[in-house]
Each structure stands twice: as C-alpha cells, then as structure tokens.
Amino acid sequence: MASIRHLISIDDLDDADLYALVARGAEYSAGSVGPLAPLAGDIVGVYFGKTSTRTRTAFSSGALRLGAQIIAYGPNDLQLNTGETSEDTGRVMSRMLDVLVARTAGDPAEMRAWADQDRMAVINAMSADEHPTQALTDLTTLRRQFDRVEGLRVLYVGEGNNTASALSLALTRFPGVELALRTPQGYGLASYYRERAAEQALAYGTVFSERHDMEELPADVDVVYTTRWQTTGTSKPDPDWRTVFAPFQVTRALWRTSPKAVFMHDLPAHRGDEVTADVLDGPMSIAFAQAENKMHSAMAVLEWCRM
C-alpha cells in the first residue's frame, strides 16, 4: 500500500519537497517524463464547493493521465448540505478514496480535519487564505520559462489574496529571488503571510517587500504578475473599492522600465479591470502557458502525495 502525504499549505513542504515538486512539474511540462501510471488503481475524489475551470480540469485530467479514476463532486452533491458534519464527511471519504482534491474557499481547518487520518491524501485546491497548488504552478512556469527560479525578480501587482499568500510563502524560499508586492491599501497580505515571507527572506537570502502604492517601482524585473480583483467566492465590503484598485491596473506602461519582463496571471482574467487586453493577449504574456502548467504541476502533486 502506498504511503500518503497531504498538501494543505506551502508550509507543509520542506525545502526538498518544494524544490522537487517544482522540478517534477517542469519535467511533466517539458514532456520529458515517459509513460507512467503511478496512480493506477487509485480513486481520486475531486470536490469543488466553488467554481473552477483550470484547477478542476487540471487535477481531473492529471489524475486520469496518471492512471487513476476520478469521482467528481459539485457544490450540491454532498450531504454537507443536509447537515452532516464536515468531520463525518471526511471520515467516510477516507475509507473510499485514495486522494481528495478539495476547493472550499473557506477555513482551511476543515481540510486539516479531513487530513487527520492516514488512508486518504488531501490536497488543498484553494481555501480562503491560501492557494498552494497555484504557487506550485507558478514556480513550475518560472522554471520552464527561465530554467531556474533562483535569482528572479518578480513584481506582483494587485490584491494580497490567497494566490499572493501562497506565492509569497513559496518564492521567498528560493535564494536570490526579489519579490516586490504592490497591493491596495486595506487589501494587502494577511499579517501571517507577510511576516512569514519576511522571516524566510532573511533566512534564504531573498528580498521581500510590500507597499500600498505604485510609486518607485523596481526596474528590470523578470516577471509582472497580477490576479483578478474579485477572488472566487469573495466580495469587497467597501462599495468604492474600484477607485482604490484603479491605480494597480497592469498596463503596457510597466514595461518601460522592464522591457524583457514576462506577464503572468492565474486566470480567469477580466480585461479592462486588473489588466489591459494588450498585455494579457500580447507577446509578453505567458498566462495561458501558465494555465496549462496547472495540469503538469497537478500531476507532480498527485504523484508526490501517493509516493
């Protein structure tokens, strides 16, 4: 019987596992992995309580390509809706599934409870505070684009959401990286992630910063990254939030001082909000290659969870 490992947060990975997952995702992306079926005979549950295009398709396609069979659950399919406790749901699933890929967009404590057993691997496909598999996708994409992650200079513009949280935890563990976040006032990283990223920057020889304006932007960055302004399953309490976010739109003007930078976006995108169409659809954009890498990274995660 295969052993299992859970992935609820980037913090769950030690350095060796983090680096290995990025390298393995890049190998899958490059097509350098031969025909394998390490999940043959496994059943993977794919539960999405919130909408998803890329992540749900990536894990479903990835599991099938690795030889597993899948059971898909939508937001109205489980007895959670009729009052069954989350703990009981997890206990039952762990007796029938080998892996559960779950998006709740809620408290990650729910997934921690599901992972409190040694029969079924649990993978966080996005919770309210962190999107760890997105960060692994992003680093896989960087590895494919630049043949390295170490030493890259990344400018992140937009809300300090669950994508930004996971990216901050992951990137600051690669020596020489410079990660600059520009987030609207009141919409920055949660304190835990900001403090954790700053601690890691000191430990790993990286540079981490967060500001709430668009002045004095770093020049000659390798990557400009943004996410959509309205994260799945969330809403903004401030009715005038668009005015606060407007200065943080990614336009071609950002390339005046970083002409060789590539553009990344976790998608879905709203052209004319967080990014202009000429950037997203322009030659600097690798956003759709990044989306494809969700599948390759998902395969690396699924394989790792069942090693």
What's the full length of the chain, in residues?
A: 307
Roughly how many angstroms between the first and final C-alpha of the chain, as a whole number? 10
Q: How many CB atoms lie within 10 A of CB 122?
A: 27
Which pLDDT value is given to residue 282?
98
Interior angle at CA 59, CA 56 and CA 65, nearest 5: 135
The pTM for the full model equals 0.96
- Whether 125 and 136 map to the same domain: the answer is no
> Which CATH number does the domain housing residue 22 bear?
3.40.50.1370
1 lies in a domain?
Answer: no
With contact defined as beta carbons under 8 Å apart, do 111 and 127 qualify? yes
Which pLDDT value is given to residue 234?
65
| Tens of pLDDT, residues 143-186 | 999 999 999 999 999 999 999 999 999 999 999 999 999 999 99
- Whether 155 and 70 map to the same domain: the answer is no
Which pLDDT value is given to residue 83?
87
Which pLDDT value is given to residue 233?
54
Residue ranges in the chain modelled with pLDDT below 70: 1-2, 105, 231-234
Which pLDDT value is given to residue 158?
97
Which pLDDT value is given to residue 185?
95
- Whether 158 and 215 map to the same domain: the answer is yes
The domain containing residue 153 runs over which residues?
Answer: 132-291
Please tell me the distance from the alpha carbon of residue 91 to that of residue 110, in angstroms, as a whole number.
Answer: 12
Number of domains in the chain: 2
- Whether 138 and 287 map to the same domain: the answer is yes
DSSP 3-state of 227 = coil
- Whether 287 and 145 map to the same domain: the answer is yes
Q: Which of 159, 161, 172, 168 is nearest to 129 (CA)?
A: 161
With contact defined as beta carbons under 8 Å apart, do 250 and 274 qualify? yes
